[in-house]
Amino acid sequence: MSLKSYTARQFNLSGLNGISDQTLEMHFKLYEGYVKETNNLTERIGKFLEDGKVDQEEMPAYSELTRRLGFEYNGMVLHEYYFDNMKQGGSVDPEQGSKFIEAAKESFGSYEIWKADFVGIGKMRGVGWAMCYQDPNNGNLSNHWITLHQVGNVAGFTPILVMDVWEHAYLLDYKPAERPKYIEAFFSNIDWQAVEARLKTGTSARPMTA
Ligand SMILES: [Fe+2]
């Protein structure tokens, strides 16, 4: 828990390609709910700690609220990464020779293979997120499936590209079975400059073999 509270951020994303303003408005409201609930849980947990200890009879309620923190915190943070890596006038792929293309090539052999993996993860059945992470210790990229918001995140890794594949991300624009169309729309709105600003180069603290 923490004594500070979070403020929901504002995002200017109207006019995206294939993701309607109506969807975004609804999605911003959901995001604001995660911020609110993160603050709410923090405050309620704080009340248990006011006397400097967690009494035995408080433990079940205290535990339940604390267990929920991972869901709410990640719900807040992942949505911020997601909204931040889209923009009006985005582009499907990064420019040839760009930092991301080079990093994908280093880690996957080619950008195309990286993309096949990321899109494949996005199509996986279930409610969650497709994530491209960078290991800050060696620069390696890896793609991951996150169940809900909190299961599968890799501790200490940096989110580089984040795609929400909960149905609320596309249900007003596509049918539930049309997730591939949403993924295509998502890719056409990617802000690759924002993505590349998250990348770090020149680190080697965790060795890998080729
Ligand atoms: Fe979402």
In the chain, what is the straight-line distance between the N-terminal and C-terminal CA atoms, in Å?
A: 41
Ligand 1 center from residue 163 Cα (angstroms): 9
Could you report the per-residue pLDDT of 49-89, keeping only the tens digit for each?
999 999 999 999 999 999 999 999 999 999 999 999 999 99
Rounded to an integer, what distance in angstroms lies between the CA atom of residue 16 and that of residue 136? 31
* Tokens 């709105």, residue located: 189
Instruction: Give the pLDDT band of residue 209 (cuts 50, 70, 90).
Output: confident
Look up residue 195 and give its DSSP letter. Answer: H
Residue 195 backbone phi and psi in degrees, to 5: -65, -45
Ligand 1 center from residue 84 Cα (angstroms): 13
Look up residue 90 and give its DSSP letter. Answer: -
Ligand 1 center from residue 6 Cα (angstroms): 18
Ligand 1 center from residue 186 Cα (angstroms): 13
Task: Report pTM.
Answer: 0.95
Ligand 1 center from residue 78 Cα (angstroms): 8
Ligand 1 center from residue 201 Cα (angstroms): 30
User: Which pLDDT belongs to residue 206?
Assistant: 78
Instruction: Give the pLDDT band of residue 11 (cuts 50, 70, 90).
Output: very high
User: Which pLDDT belongs to residue 210?
Assistant: 72
String of DSSP letters for 21-42 = HHHHHHHHHHHHHHHHHHHHHH
Whether 2 has a pLDDT exceeding 80, the answer reads no
Percent of the chain past pLDDT 70, that is, above it, reads: 97
Ligand 1 center from residue 175 Cα (angstroms): 16
Whether 197 has a pLDDT exceeding 90, the answer reads yes
Mean pLDDT for the chain overall:
96
Ligand 1 center from residue 55 Cα (angstroms): 36
Percent of the chain past pLDDT 90, that is, above it, reads: 93
Whether 179 has a pLDDT exceeding 70, the answer reads yes
Ligand 1 center from residue 121 Cα (angstroms): 16
User: Which pLDDT belongs to residue 1?
Assistant: 54
Could you report the per-residue pLDDT of 104-136, keeping only the tens digit for each?
999 999 999 999 999 999 999 999 999 999 999
Ligand 1 center from residue 193 Cα (angstroms): 22
**For the residues 132-155, what does the mean pLDDT come to?**
97
Instruction: Give the pLDDT band of residue 169 (cuts 50, 70, 90).
Output: very high
